[in-house]
Structure 1
Amino acid sequence: MITPTKGITPDRCLLAVGAQILLQLEEPRSVSQTWARLKRWRSDHGHHSPVSFNWFVLTLDVLYSMGAVELHRDLLVARSVNAAALER
């Protein structure tokens, strides 16, 4: 599920959908705004594998557990990571 498998295409695995979600968060957005933008982005870029709202929420859970997104005042915010801090 997190990575592509026999049953889950590369454009539908949680890491790929997570990256696609992060592309929509150049500024804080509500969950519904992010969902709408993700569906439009996937359609515009030829990703026709279905992603349900449940799959979207599961992907948000993965992103949150990885520390990639936060929820501030009902808005999703992409967290930036300082690469220098990770090198220690």
Structure 2
Amino acid sequence: MPAITTDLQPSMELCTGAVESLHPETSDRLTGPLLFGFYPDEASPELWIEQEGKRVQFFADALPAVIKQLKRAALAAKETT
């Protein structure tokens, strides 16, 4: 089996953490981990979330709106189950 290599470019983008999502009853992994990071830019930093090679980027000043919508989705999910 060939080696898997990941090249990181800390001056271009930084990964700050990962979240693994496991099924609450079986502990099976549903999908790959969510990776969180940012592109350094003093004027307007871009944040990113990536899962299984698909990345979503947004400016840091949009973070409060992103968090609000995630909380809203979680609340709606609880109400429908």
Shorter-chain TM-score tier: under 0.3
Structure showing greater relative contact order (alpha-carbon pairs closer than 8 Å, 6 or more residues apart): 1
Structure with a larger share of its residues in strand: 2
Bigger-Rg structure (1/2): 2
Structure 2 length normalisation: TM-score? 0.27
Structure with a larger share of its residues in helix: 1
Structure 1 length normalisation: TM-score? 0.26
